[in-house]
Amino acid sequence: MKTVTVVGARPQFVKAALVSEALRQVGIEELVVHTGQHYDDNMSAVFFSQLRMAPPALNLEVGSGPHGHQTGVMMSRLEPVIAERKPDWVLVYGDTNSTLAGALVAAKLHIPVAHVEAGLRSFNRAMPEEINRIVTDVLAASLLCPTQTAVDHLSREGITAGVHLVGDVMLDLLLAALPEASRGRVLADLDVAPGRYYLATIHRAENTDDPERLHRLMEALEQAPLPVIFPVHPRTRTTLQSSGWTPCAENRLRLIDPVGYLEMVQLEANAHAVLTDSGGVQKEAFFLGRPCVTLRHETEWVETLEGGWNVLAGSDPERILAALGRQPEGEARRDAFGDGHAASAIASILARGA
């Protein structure tokens, strides 16, 4: 049995790491194709190295661009690869343009699509990610859901065939990576103490494509009561530079380059709290028992809201700072995301042709 796996952005590299190993263990031959959606070494190459993944067999080197153009170029470069390979499955992850391009090409070539993280919904169709995941789920033959909530979303949309509750691959990887991440030096290198800083990430188009909204978020980070470590996504840095943002005279906001997966886990695990618009970072904070403030008005990961472990604050500085001051109740219940064996469940399902 053969599969073509399409990845293009750093969250997908993380998810693919353990699934690729699980596919090998059940005898499925995999060709990993990197669309080149993330092409900076800090956004891609370091992830393959740290996660001990073999470099992708192909890099389509698509790069950035408007959504339609980027997706179209991906499709034109993916089609001959998939057509020649004739895989039993095309495996896609998450909700990026790479996900949509892989699913569309496979469907048009009559090759079954397997979608990891199927069934997620923000119910905000202004988000390009929402369009990508809805279309991919309609096209998919195997819908690999991380939570019961995702299964329920699909059921309400009339999608029940090929739906599997497998758990969250990111929980698998986090549990496997924690021992090595805890031995890292990133805290020493940044000269920060455990529990004495906040960690922030901002990358979604709704925040980075609107300079006024991004400036409000930066204002909130600058007013935070503890130092803020902010690994800056290339898109975010470009908007900050082009929009004329300058830091205020007195603040403890530290903009740094993107970090690898292991460094990110160590920063998340030791932060007093996390501020993010990333779905993956929301989950990782929850898995690690760290309070999170989500810089959006909705989340696909509603399970993280339980007990106040995650709070939706949008871009209003007052709401963001108020959310930083609250205390979550009870324990973060990560069992809603499975038992840490999602990758092996996915490989078994694909091996059965289910």
* Residues with catalytic roles: 203
Which tokens hold the place of 255?
């903009």
Distance CA 214, CA 193 (A): 28
Distance spanning both ends of the chain, measured CA to CA: 13
Phi then psi dihedrals of residue 301, to 5 deg: -105, 70
Give the residue ranges of DSSP H helices in 197-304. Answer: 205-208, 211-223, 234-242, 261-270, 279-287
CA 61-62-67 angle, to 5 degrees, is 160
In which residue are the tokens 């991440």 written?
Answer: 181
Distance CA 311, CA 267 (A): 20
168, with CB counted inside 10 A (0-12, 13-18, 19+), is buried
Which tokens hold the place of 315?
């871009």
Q: Are 207 and 283 in contact (CB under 8 A)?
A: no
Nearest Cα residue to 313 out of 226, 242, 220, 240: 220
Q: Are 285 and 330 in contact (CB under 8 A)?
A: no
